[in-house]
Every structure is written in structure tokens, then in C-alpha cells.
Structure 1
Amino acid sequence: MESIVSQIRTMAKNADDVGLLEIQKALRDIQTEIQTPKDILIEFANSNLILATVRLGADLKLFRHLATHNGSLTVSQLADITGASSQLLERVLRYLASINVIKEVGFNEYQANTTTHTLADPKGEAMVYHIFDTHAPSVQAMPDFFAENGYRDIDSITNTPFQKAHNTTLSSFDWMVQNPKHFESLQKVMVAFESAEWTAGFDLFDSEAKKVPSVSPQPSERPFFVDVGGGHGHQCVQLGKKYPNLLGRLVLQDLPAAVNQLPPIEGVKAEAHDFFEKQPIAGAKFYYLRRVLHDWPDRECSTILQNISDAMSSDSRILIDEVVLPDTGAHWQGTMADITMMINLGGKERTVHQWKSLADSACLRVEEIHTYISSSYTSIVVLAPK
């Protein structure tokens, strides 16, 4: 057994992202094959408990304490630090160690592992709170919602399991604005996914970015890059680091709740804008939407794209930074995201065919698809005027 495990570790160490997912899938397939029916049922029973206990650990700051301590901590030490009873912590920590969230090193003695450090990070902690507080209630409400609605696909932002779970008539985003604690967790989660990876190997963007002179823009010069629905501007910041010559030509747009209290971002103009209204910036070279359209049903997406399309010049392009699902054999992370978008927002992850259909509805065409993370199908869908 040890030699087999050693071989798998060696393969994983030398694998790229796609290879790692293939190894993980093979291990899951083998696990399913060797599980008894009883094992399968108990694993399902455990699924809800994992999230709730991790949330409890986050409340007690267990992961932070273990991650910042050199070496191990005993149950008694953690009880003194957290104020929780030793009896409760003994049971909770034993369970967390059994599911590899923390590492057991002796009797009632624990230390951090890789998962612990991930959960101790503010972004990981925000993910735990967002999933437990906002998403998990929608999951619980999902079966009854579909039974009550005739098992039909969702095409509304205000008639989803989210409304049933949170007892509201508001859309998910409007509810978030009225619940700042949950909105802040979401923003931290979005920052966790900031990246300039999408520019790597993307010749269309790279070549145009390098043409921009390294001098201050003229007052009459059109913006180069408009980040539509860009949250706290993390993508503009990443882009400015990679292409300093673009500073002063980058625009961040989002709702007032997201941008009005932002500190100034060097080289980035932040402005409040609702993408369901007319796009105020005409003729920008690139309009960029990252993880925006998967939040919305087709009808709303068509409106968003049409508002941008009306402002485009002939050489303008829309860059949609999202998942492009394969027609068959999709990985569970992609399909999970699709269901998550549906039950909370009425949105979806889309296939090539669905992206082309959506573009066509706004008098646009798919000019190119640049896939930059093959393992998750994350791509730039380039839309051009027809």
C-alpha cells in the first residue's frame, strides 16, 4: 500500500492542473467502486455535517489559532484560548481530524495541516461563511422549491430556492446589499479569485495592450479597458501590475455599494454604474465581464450585452471571463457551479452553443474562445459586433 501511495504522490507532484484532476477523478472512481452500500450512505450523511462543523471551527477561530501556532496545541490550551469547554472541543477536534481538516498528533493534541491553513486565511474563512450562511439554506430549500414549481428550469432572478430559503422577495444581489455582513463575505470570496492568468497566451489582448504608449493618456483618449461589474477592482489592479502602461486607461464599474467607499486605486477610475442601464463609456477597446453573466438568466444577460453592444465601436470587443462547459464529461466543479448559480441567482454555466446563442440575442458574434485554465474550462469568450 505504501508503495502505491508513494507512486500516486510522485505522479501528482509532476502533474499539471489537468493531470491533477485526472488523478483525483481516478481516486474518487476507485473509492466509489470499493465502497459498500453502507459506506455510500454514511458518506452522504456526513456531507452536511462537514460544513456545519467547519463553520463552528471558524466561529471559534480554531483554524487561525492552529495555523499561527508553531507546533501543536492541546485541547486544554485551545479551551483556554477560545473559551469553549474542553468536553465540546475534544469531540469537535476529533471529528475535524478524522476528516483531515486538522492533524491529530497525539491524545487530545492537534496541529495545522494544509486544509487548516486554507481555512485560516481570511479568504478561506469568508468562503466558509458565505457558503454556510447564504448558499447552504438554498440547497436545503431546493427539493421543495422544484416540487412546488413543477420541476421546471429557473429563468427568474426572484423565483429561486434562494427566495424560499431566506424568506424574501428580493433578488440575491438586492438581498446582499441589505445584509452588509453577507455582502462583505461575498466580496472577499471574489477577491480570492483575482488573477491576471487570463492574459497569458491571449494574443489578441496582449498585442493590443503592448501597443499602448507608456505615457499619460490624453483627455480625449478612449479608455482601453472597462471592467464591468468589477467589484472592488481586484482585476484592474492585477492588470495594472502586468501592464503598467495601461494605468490611467482602466475603468472599474460596479454598483454604488461596491465602489463608493473604495479607497483610490492608482491608475484606475472607479465609477458607479448599473449594467442594466445604458453603458456610459462609448468606444472602449475592451469591455470585460468576469464571473458576471453566469449570475443571470439568459434574458438579463442579453440586456447586459445589448447595453454594451450599443456603446461599442467597430474595433471594440467584449471579453467574457467565465466557464465554457464541454458538451460531455464535465468535471464536478463545473457542474456544481452551474447548480449553485441556478438555485441562488437563476444563472448558469454555459456551453459553446449556449454562448453563441446568447451573443446572437444581442447582435454579437463569438469571435474567439481563449481557454486559459483547461482543468476548470475557464475561458475568455471574445464577442465582436456583427
Structure 2
Amino acid sequence: MTSSSVSSKLESLAAAGEAYEKNEAGSREALIDLSGLLIATLEIPSEFIQRSFWAEPAMSAQCKFAAGVQPFQDLKEAGDAGLSPQVLSEKTGVEITLLQRLMRHLTTMYLVTYEKGAFHATTLSNGLPEQNYQDSISFCYNVAGPSFNGSPEYFRKTGYKQPTSLTDGPFQDAHKTQLPFFEWLVATPPHLSNFDFFMSAYRAGKAN
């Protein structure tokens, strides 16, 4: 990595930022992509491991946990005032010490904020209570997640070959089934409904 490579990426970010301020099409996506490129340029392997295999998986689990106790909904309803840990604990039914540990991690991941003794919603967290996103979280965590996590062992067992059958792949191995993906969804509610909402949310908020 050279300082010039970082400088060029910062210049590109600044240009994309100006385009975003002018509401130019594609500028938001460009900012996200360039931000990821800057992180990839600056991040060292130890930081990559901590983020990719610790911080982000933990956030996924906490979002799935949140889908059951609804802190994002409570924070959204609280508005700018936010909620103290004690009040949020009472609303969610989560013991306060556990709640604070979970919410502090979500704070470090910029999903919520913590100011003046209270947790506050963000624009991102305010969108998550919608049903299509709640069901998307459930689908990704319960259905897709085990397939991704189990795929290295599946390919090791099968000699690192491309699957050729709709009934024998990482998905079937993870979920202990011989059914094709869509047939399994139908046979195991509420996964089909969760998948439908996931697909409805796939391009939600984006122009057609």
C-alpha cells in the first residue's frame, strides 16, 4: 500500500461525495463501493479477521436475536429522545446486563448510537422493523447461514468438485435433507414465507 494509492481513493470518495450532494444517480452506490475499497486498502489481516469472522457474524446473530425482542421497533418509536438501557430492558424483556452487552456491539457496528445515557435509532435501524427485512434476517440466518458455514466441510468431503445434482449440495448437507431447495422451503414453514419476503426486499429502496 502506498500513500498515493490511499490519496487517489480519497479523491475518488470526495468526487463521489460531491455527486451525492447533487443527488446524481448512482452516487450513493459509488460511495459505498469506494468506502469498501478504501477499507480493503487500509485494513491489515488481523483487522480483517476480527471484522469478518467475529464482529460481523456477532452482529448477524444479534440482529436475529433482535427480531424476537424488537429493540429496533422500540427505539424507532422513541424518536430523538432514545431509550435508557433500563427502559429498553423493560420494553424488550431482556435482562439489562445482557441487553447492554448486545447493544454496545451494535453501537460499535454503527447500527445504533449511544449518547447521554440512552440508545438511539439510526436511519438504518429504523428501516429494519419492516416485515420484509425482519423475515429476510430470519431467512438469511436460519436457511442460508448454515449452508455457507457448512460448505467448506461439504466440499472437503466431496473432493472439491462442483455439485451436479439439485438434491446433493452444501444446502442439503447443512439441512440434512434430500429435497431440492424450493421443495424444502415448502415442506418446512415458515421458511418459504421468509424467503418470499427476502426476495421482496432484495431490491427494496432501489430504482427499478
Query: What TM-score range do you get, normalising by the shorter chain?
Result: 0.7 to 0.9
Alignment of 1:276-291 (within 5 A): none
Distance 2:21 2:14 in 1: 11
Unaligned runs of 5+ in 2: 1-10
Q: What amino acid maps onto 1:27 in structure 2?
A: S
Larger Rg: 1
The partner residue of 1:36 within 24, 39, 44 is 44
The partner residue of 1:189 within 173, 195, 198 is 198
Q: CA deviation at 1:131?
A: 0.2
Q: What amino acid maps onto 1:103 in structure 2?
A: T
The aligned length equals: 194
Matched residue, 1:103: 113
Q: What amino acid maps onto 2:48 in structure 1?
A: I
Q: CA deviation at 1:16?
A: 4.2
1:12 partnered with 2:20: yes
- On the 8 A contact 2:147/2:174 being kept in 1, the answer is yes
Matched residue, 2:97: 87
Matched residue, 2:8: none
The secondary structure found in structure 1 opposite 2:104 is helix
- On the 8 A contact 1:145/1:164 being kept in 2, the answer is yes
Q: CA deviation at 1:47?
A: 2.7
Matched residue, 2:139: 130
Alignment of 1:312-327 (within 5 A): none
Alignment of 1:153-164 (within 5 A): 153-164=162-173
Specify which structure has the bigger relative contact order, considering alpha-carbon pairs within 8 angstroms and separated by 6 or more residues.
2
Q: CA deviation at 1:25?
A: 2.1
The secondary structure found in structure 2 opposite 1:58 is helix
Distance 1:86 1:105 in 2: 17
Alignment of 1:236-255 (within 5 A): none
1:112 partnered with 2:128: no
Structure 1, residues 254-311: CA drift from partner, whole Å, max 9, x if none? xxxxxxxxxxxxxxxxxxxxxxxxxxxxxxxxxxxxxxxxxxxxxxxxxxxxxxxxxx
Q: CA deviation at 1:134?
A: 0.6
Q: CA deviation at 1:175?
A: 1.2
Matched residue, 1:74: 84
Matched residue, 1:201: none
- On the 8 A contact 2:136/2:201 being kept in 1, the answer is no
The secondary structure found in structure 2 opposite 1:73 is coil
- On the 8 A contact 1:102/1:111 being kept in 2, the answer is yes
Assess, with a 3 A threshold, how the Cα gap between structure 1 residues 96 and 165 changes in structure 2: closer, same or farther: same
The partner residue of 2:35 within 27, 39, 43 is 27
Q: What amino acid maps onto 1:76 in structure 2?
A: Q
Distance 1:62 1:42 in 2: 25
Matched residue, 1:148: 157
Unaligned runs of 5+ in 1: 198-371, 374-386
The secondary structure found in structure 2 opposite 1:104 is strand
1:169 partnered with 2:189: no
1:53 partnered with 2:73: no
Q: What amino acid maps onto 1:159 in structure 2?
A: D
- On the 8 A contact 1:176/1:183 being kept in 2, the answer is yes
- On the 8 A contact 2:79/2:121 being kept in 1, the answer is no
Q: CA deviation at 1:80?
A: 0.8
Report which of the two has the higher share of strand: 1
